[in-house]
Amino acid sequence: SEANDEFIAAISNGEFIPFYQPVMDIESLRLRGCEVLMRWRRPNGTIVSPGQFMAYAENNGHIFDMTRHMMRVSCEEVGKLYGENPDFKLSINLFAGHFQDREVVADIKSIFENSNISFQQIVVEVTERHPLEDMEQARKIMAELQALGVRIALDDVGTGHGGMAYLQKLGVDIIKIDKMFIDTISSDDNSTTIVDSMVELADNLGMGIIAEGVEQEEQIERLLELGVTAAQGYYFAKPMPANEFIEFAARTE
């Protein structure tokens, strides 16, 4: 179709670009990594959010090419600054379909193998929002990535299909607490209790934990009290293009 031709042209013209959101150590207030969040920059300069195109890209299989492109560009842009810095983590979103065949393992190997970014610096995020169809296969692919040194983060935790079974079966390394729970953490006892249980669970299972969607100082204080040490959110910075992220990083050193 015409729309699909236009979409493919946008891919080959490099209109899909990575934005970067800092992940902060909230004890030291130092940068510990970034999450790559895709944007569509139209030729007229308009920035389009994933909500407008991600479902289409996934349903048509374009997401595989687009994700490889995110990996290559972010490896280049972030590698210049943080190559071979084991403390800095580059976090990339994958979708459920990536965990159905081993293509993604080959992609990560070939893109990062001879780059400035080591496998130990990579985190791949899988969302709990959409079900993984073949759990066995997903686990196999995650194990292959983990064998390289890549870490797996479960995203949007608390919102989706996952729950305890996911955490147990998937063997993820990091959980990302959804913004929904962070929003009310300084005012609502229930949210605090839920986050507190997530921290305890993460500790007991040896997993790391990252709070998402932090917008206020009080939320940071509350998170520190609960033992969470990593967070991202508008309080620190919105997702931003590479040049702005580089400036942010320089200010945060």
* Residue-level length of the chain: 253
DSSP codes of every residue in 26-92: TTTTEEEEEEEEEEEE-TTS-EE-GGGTHHHHHHTTTHHHHHHHHHHHHHHHHHHHHTT-TT-EEEE
Residue numbers 134-163 binding Na ion by CB under 5 A = 155-156
Residues pairing with 48 in the sheet = 40
Contacting range for Mn ion; rule: CB under 5 A; set: 74-82, 91-99, 114-122, 227-235: 91-99
Question: Is there binding between residue 35 and Na ion (CB under 5 A)?
Answer: no
**Interface segment toward ligand G; rule CB under 6 A; list 46-54, 101-109, 146-154, 216-224:** 46-54
Count of residues engaged in binding ligand G, rule: CB under 6 A:
23
- Is residue 50 a contact point for ligand G (CB under 6 A)? yes
CB of 115 or CB of 232, closer to ligand G: 232
Residue 149 to residue 231: CA distance in whole angstroms: 22
Is 156 near ligand G (CB under 6 A)? yes
Is 122 an interacting residue with respect to ligand G (CB under 6 A)?
no
Tell me whether residue 105 or residue 177 sits nearer to Mn ion (CB atom).
177
**Under DSSP, is residue 112 helix (H, G, I), strand (E, B) or coil?**
helix
Among 95, 99, 166, 181, binds ligand G (CB under 6 A): 95
128 binds Na ion (CB under 5 A): no
Kindly state whether residue 125 participates in binding Mn ion, applying the rule CB under 5 A. yes
Cα atoms in the Cβ-side hemisphere of radius 13 Å centred on 236: 29
Cα–Cα dist 15/8, whole Å: 10
34's tokens: 């970034």
Tell the burial category of 73 from Cβ atoms under 10 Å away from its Cβ (0-12, 13-18, 19+): middle
45: DSSP letter: S
241 lines the binding site for ligand G (CB under 6 A) = no
Binding part of the chain for Mn ion, among 134-142, 150-158, 215-223, 225-233 by CB under 5 A, reads: 150-158
For residues 159 and 162, what is the distance between their CA atoms, to the nearest angstrom?
8
* Site of interaction with Mn ion (CB under 5 A): 93, 125, 155
Residues that bind ligand G (CB under 6 A): 21, 37-38, 49-51, 54, 67, 70, 93-95, 155-156, 179, 212-215, 232-234, 239
- Enumerate binding residues for Na ion (CB under 5 A): 155-156, 212
